[in-house]
Structure formats: C-alpha cells, structure tokens
Structure 1
Amino acid sequence: MTGLRSTTRKVRIVCISDTHNAAPGGPFKLPKGDVLIHAGDMTNQGSFAELERTVRWIEEADFQAKIVVAGNHDITLDTNFYARHGESFHNQRPQDPVECQGLLENSPSILWLKHEAATVSLAFPDGLGVRFKIFGSPFSPVDGMWAFGYESDEASKTWDQIPLDSDIVITHTPPMHHLDEKKDIPAAGCEALRTALWRVRPRLAVCGHVHSGRGAKRICWDLGDSNIKYKEASAECWTDPGFNNKKMSLVDLSAKGGSPVQNDGSKGDGNSCGKGSGLSNFGPMVPLPADTRGQGGVPPSALCDLEALSGRMGRQETCIVNAAITATLWANRSGGKKFNKPIVVDIDLPTWEE
C-alpha cells in the first residue's frame, strides 16, 4: 500500500436483520451489492440446524464482505446464557454451543463480530479500493429470557466500548427514539446507545430487533450546544421508494445521489482518555470533567466533550437503518408472517490505492 488517500468512492451495502430462519429466494430477495450486513436474529432459537441453513446461504451470497452479529434469538451463540437457560428452549435436544459457534467462527467468508471492531477492505478492478472501520455487537436491553441482554446499569459501560473512529456501527438493538417504536411501547431502544452514537457519530448505524421499526432516518447531531447534552439538531425520516412496488428499497447517501451524508469520518486529535478511541494526544493528558461528556461547544474549550469533538467536527450526521426483514411482531408465529425488503445503502467510504 502506498498510503491512504483522502478520497472516497461509492459502496453499496445491503442491510438485513431479523430473518428468523427466512432465506433469500422466497420471503425476500437479496439485491446485488459490495457488502452484506446482518444485524442479528438469524434464527428463532439458535439451533445447529437453523444456524447451518443460515450460514450456508450467507456464504453463498455474492458479496465482497459479509458481516454479521448475533441477536437475542440466536441463543447458542451466547455461551453463558445457554449454560443457564438452554434447557428451557432445547430440553429434548440440547445443542452444543461450541459446535454452533464454530459454524460462524470457521466460516471462510463471514466476518462475525462479537462486540468488537474490525477493519474491512474492499478491492475494485480499477485498483482504488475501500477501507473502513466497523464495530458490531449482539447486545440489547434485557427483555424477558433471551440472549445477549444487559441491564440498564450496564448500558453505558457496554456502549462506551465502541471506538470513536468507527465508520459503521452494527448493533442488534436500535437506539432509543430512532426506529424503535412498538405497538405498545413508543420507544423500545437503548438511550445509552443513542448517546454513544452522539459521541462516535459514524456514517452509518445498522440495527434491527424491533420489527415494526424497520426504516431509515438521518440524524444531524447538534455539536454546538454547551447546555444540552447529546442534543440532536434534526431527524429526517426516509420514504421507502420500494414500498408496495418492485423497486429497490434504496437509501442513497452518496455524492452522486445528490444528498451525501454530512460526515467526513475524521478521526480526531483530542484528548485520548476514552478506551479504544483511536485518537492521538492533544496537548497534555488532563482528565476531562465528567460533566463535559456529551456536551457541545467549540474545541479546545474545556467546557465541551473534547474527546468526542476535537478534530472530529466533520462528523455531523449519521444515517440509522433498522433493517428488520420479518415484518410481523412475533418471529415464530405461524400463518400470517410478512416480510420486508432488504434496505440498500449507497454510501461514500474512504479509499486506498495499491
């Protein structure tokens, strides 16, 4: 590699979640693209047979990169949960979590993210490739007896582990107030994740979990208000061009599409006091007051969230996508199950040249 270039190129990302044993060709079709993202709940109960079928069709899908996280229904992928509660689900046919996890762990073409970050590189015929940082997590707030749950007092610590230089974030749960509305609950998402997204401000955040929340929303973050923490300037809901027709459900965030996401992916030069922040030091290491966290302002003012803002003001906007494929409330309900189309995102990502 001759060095990173400060240019971008359009990448097509096909986003799905909550397939719950459904596979392409029947309930839904997979459009062509460069990257496939699955944001969890691949199965109903995480059995080996369920996972094997899902892994097989993902491996056969024609994408340069295929990135998955687990969801609360993929119970054998959560070793500790399955050791405690597996009998309640598979009392007649106990499953081997190691064997189940091996399907993903040993896949030659699937990147399985278990609350961790990775760098993804794509190659193109003209030699100008794409490289971006992605973070993926299976966790969601505890809601009944399901896998990968965290209590409310664990939420902030959980999402603080997202590196600040992430370009794309995949979580099974949606953030609170964004694509998380259930019939009986106006906001079923996680507030700690929403505040973490204010700090990280990735170009794209993909989730699922709440089937009725399927859609996309562009969030413009308010980074100037020094009085209200984690403030949003605006939220623009997406109108699905593929609703009730044969068109693709496309979210065009590219410059060629005329409405690029306002996010340059800047990595920052602030005080690197955050775990995994990916930032270099800015002056002497001075502990930031806790009450500046999530607060806007103009760096290097000590009154603002210096780590989240310094050198990173170009991260103005994030597009959040809830890509739930299953449209009905309950994944295992027989009869009237309905399905959504995958959501396709065209987005400009940083290039590198060989």
Structure 2
Amino acid sequence: MIEGVKFYGSPLQPRQPKERPMAFGRRRGAELKEEWAKIPADVDVLLTHTPPATILDVSPYTGKPIGCEELLKALTKKAPAVHVFGHVHNGYGSLAKPKTLFINASTAVERRGAQGTINPPVSFWVQKKADRKGSSAGMLITAAAP
C-alpha cells in the first residue's frame, strides 16, 4: 500500500515448453487458477510478468495469443485500475478497457534484448479519489502509456 493505493505483484507465468525453460512457470489451468486466486479483491495496481490471454500478448512466432487464460478470468472478477506486465515483447503498448488500463511495459524490442533495442519506459499516475466526505471512492488514472 502506497498512499492509499494497493499494489500486488507476481512473477508467475504459464510454463513454457521444455526447450524454453523459464523461471516461475506454472501449469496452465488449475495450478495457475489457484495462484491468481491469491490476488486481493481490492487491488488497485496489479504487476505480473505474464499478460492475460488476448491482451497485448500475440506471439511473433505463431501469431496467436500466449497470455494466461486463468489470469484473464481472475481479472474479470477483480478489475484492478491498472495491470502492468511484460513477457511478450512485441505486445508493448497499452489498452484501455472500461475498468482496467492494461500496460505491456516490455523493455526489450527483440527477444531477450537482442541487438540492444529497447522500448521507451512507460509511466502512469494513479491516485485514490476522495468523495465529499473524504473517503476513498474509485481511482483517478493518468497514463503516459504507449
């Protein structure tokens, strides 16, 4: 919690094929569903390594989405104001949905930073709004996202 804004982060991602081992991999389906259930219901800013399925997650190799289906399901229930992730480098950018601003902040343009090409940093500003009585009521989001 920072100045009334609740953050939650996770390095988890769907397990990759054996020829591409990566840290923090979990099996798609029940194993990831159990992990994403740990996201607090009142989270304001969610930080994950992996994107949710179908959101800024198209593989440059297959042309298909490779994000996490279980994460997408969890987000429809939890609806953080902002979800920041990476992993799929060519998905760099942002997408505003009615309840959540999704930001793929992948640094490297090429796979694992090949050829030294990097994306510009992404910044966003988020603040709890107060109602007339002084209690928190919703989020005010200003994003300088790509």
TM range (shorter): 0.7 to 0.9
For each residue in 1:134-158, what CA deviation from the matched residue of structure 2 results, as whole angstroms up to 9, or x when unmatched?
Answer: 1100001111321100001311111
Q: CA deviation at 1:210?
A: 0.8
Structure 2 distance, partners of 1:347, 1:148, is 28
Q: Secondary structure at the match of 2:5?
A: strand
Instruction: Please state if 1:182 is matched with 2:59.
Output: yes
Residue 319 of structure 1 corresponds to 101
Structure 2 distance, partners of 1:192, 1:339, is 29
Residue 342 of structure 1 corresponds to 121
Structure 2 distance, partners of 1:325, 1:349, is 28
Q: Quick one: which amino acid aligns to residue 135 of structure 1?
A: Y
Greater gyration radius: 1
Residue 213 of structure 1 corresponds to 91
CA-atom RMSD in angstroms: 1.7
Structure 2 distance, partners of 1:137, 1:160, is 12
Residue 14 of structure 2 corresponds to 141
Structure 1 distance, partners of 2:129, 2:44, is 9
Structure 2 distance, partners of 1:341, 1:330, is 16
Q: How does 1:50-89 map to 2 (within 5 A)?
A: none
Q: Which runs of 5+ in 2 are unaligned?
A: 136-146
Q: Which runs of 4 or more aligned residues in structure 1 lie more than 3 Å from their structure 2 counterparts after TM superposition?
A: 350-353
State TM-score, norm by structure 1: 0.34
Q: Which runs of 5+ in 1 are unaligned?
A: 1-118, 122-130, 221-316
State TM-score, norm by structure 2: 0.80
Q: CA deviation at 1:175?
A: 0.4
Instruction: Please state if 1:192 is matched with 2:70.
Output: yes
Q: Quick one: which amino acid aligns to residue 108 of structure 2?
A: T
Structure 2 distance, partners of 1:319, 1:184, is 26
Structure 1 distance, partners of 2:90, 2:111, is 7
Contact 1:132 1:350 in 2 (8 A): no
Identity of counterpart residues, as a percentage?
A: 31
Q: Secondary structure at the match of 1:132?
A: coil
